[in-house]
Amino acid sequence: MKAIIFNLLAWVMLPIMDGFAKYLSAELPVLQITWARYFFTVVFTFPLMFFFFKNYLVWTDKPKLQLIRGLILLTANICFFYSISVISLPKALTLAFVAPLVVTAFSPIFLGESVGYKRWTAVIIGFIGSLVVIRPGFVEINLASLAALGTGIMYGFYLIITRKLSTSDNPLLTLLLTGVVGAIIATTFMPFVWVSPTFNQWSIMAAIGLFACIGHLFIILSLKYADASKLAPLSYFEIITNIIIAYYIFNDFPDRWTFLGLFIIVFSGVYISRRENIIKNIKI
């Protein structure tokens, strides 16, 4: 029960972060908002780890993999923050939900896992779901929709690398290193895009980092009490918080095509998760 509560809390916190980012995107550059997400995540995470989890501050055994992971997540965040600056939160998140499908499609190559025809079928159906949302040939495809889809693809590779690191590095250390990598790289771009924020904007930028920190800590805590594969379907709860924020703050509500595509993608993702659990239990 603790695992479920912590995991659901994470999927309440992270859409709030996205809502703040969308709000700021009307006045600040996307790169600056992304920088704030990483900079303030490190600001809040490092003291927490130093005082309460000091034993985990041990250098990683796989620094190159940590660097690649940080780069991929940074790029995914830039793409997602750009996409929500143009299109609605629910549409962007729906397209980003292809991440579990990407994990399944590429796990035979990078993780050495076998994927049967049933899961391959689910991957194909999930991709069709993303096409339903974008509707190529029926509506003009914009860069924001492609960026949201790219977010899901990159996040899928991020999850694959996270699986690899889970056997060697502590999750809290990985969280901190990901933040440090993103903050350092994003900082190099700030002289070219920086817009002086007001006090209110500084506060919201700090809140983005705070909610990112809290959300990921809740995910880590949930994984202490249950396997990631069992908790994976709960991540789709994020869309509920996302739709509520989009409707009440930005007056956006998903159209029927977005809902249909969302249903197809979620159905495929949940099916894949259940198949992975079944196969895992058989092996045990």
pLDDT of residue 25: 94
pLDDT of residue 208: 95
pLDDT of residue 36: 96
Torsion of the alpha carbons at 27, 253, 241 and 125, rounded to the nearest 10? -110
pLDDT of residue 38: 94
Amino acid at position 191, single letter: P
Global pTM reads 0.88
Mean of all residue pLDDT scores within the chain: 84
pLDDT of residue 23: 95
- Among positive and negative, which fits the CA dihedral 69, 104, 167, 215? positive
Domain that holds residue 33: 2-283
Task: Write out the chain's pLDDT in tens, 284 residues.
Answer: 777 888 888 888 999 999 999 999 999 999 999 999 999 999 988 887 777 666 666 777 778 888 998 899 999 999 999 999 999 999 998 888 888 888 788 877 776 767 777 777 887 888 888 888 877 655 567 899 899 999 999 988 888 887 777 666 777 777 888 889 999 999 999 999 999 999 999 999 999 999 998 888 888 778 777 766 666 777 888 888 899 999 999 998 888 888 888 888 888 888 877 776 666 665 55
pLDDT of residue 236: 81
Cβ atoms 31, 74 nearer than 8 A: no
Neighbouring residues of 217: CB distance < 8 A, sequence distance ≥ 6: 48, 175
pLDDT of residue 198: 95
Q: Which two tokens stand for residue 113?
A: 């896992």
Count of domains for the chain = 1
* Alpha-carbon gap, residue 25 to 156, rounded angstroms: 25
pLDDT of residue 283: 55
pLDDT of residue 139: 56
Q: Which two tokens stand for residue 64?
A: 């190159």
